[in-house]
Amino acid sequence: WNDLSVASSCDRFLGMCDLSPYTIGRRGPSVLGSKATTTVLEQFSALVEKYYEAGMLAKRGAQALFDAERDHVFGDDEWVTPEYTTAAFAMVIHAKNRSTARIVAGMAAWDEAIRLASVLEWNGKIETSKISDLREQERKGMYSIFSFARRSLIGLYKGTLKVEATKPAKELGAPAEAVPAAADTELTTA
- Helix boundaries (H) for the chain: 4-31, 34-72, 99-122, 128-158
Cα-Cα-Cα-Cα torsion 64, 127, 130, 109, nearest 10 degrees, comes to: 40
How does pLDDT run across 89-99, given as a tens digit for each residue? 788 889 999 99
Report the largest interatomic distance among the alpha carbons of the chain, rounded to a whole angstrom: 65
Higher-pLDDT residue of 162, 109: 109
Q: 6-15, 78-87, 108-117, 160-169: lowest mean pLDDT where?
A: 160-169
* CA nearest to 7, candidates 135, 133, 141, 130: 135
Average pLDDT over residues 139-162: 89
Q: Is the pLDDT of residue 118 over 80?
A: yes
Q: Is the pLDDT of residue 178 over 60?
A: no
Average pLDDT over residues 145-165: 83
* pLDDT in the model for residue 61: 95
Q: Tell me, what amino acid is at 31? A: V
How does pLDDT run across 56-86, given as a tens digit for each residue? 999 999 999 998 887 777 666 677 778 877 7
Q: Is the pLDDT of residue 176 over 80?
A: no
* pLDDT in the model for residue 91: 83
Average pLDDT, the chain: 83
Average pLDDT over residues 156-184: 51
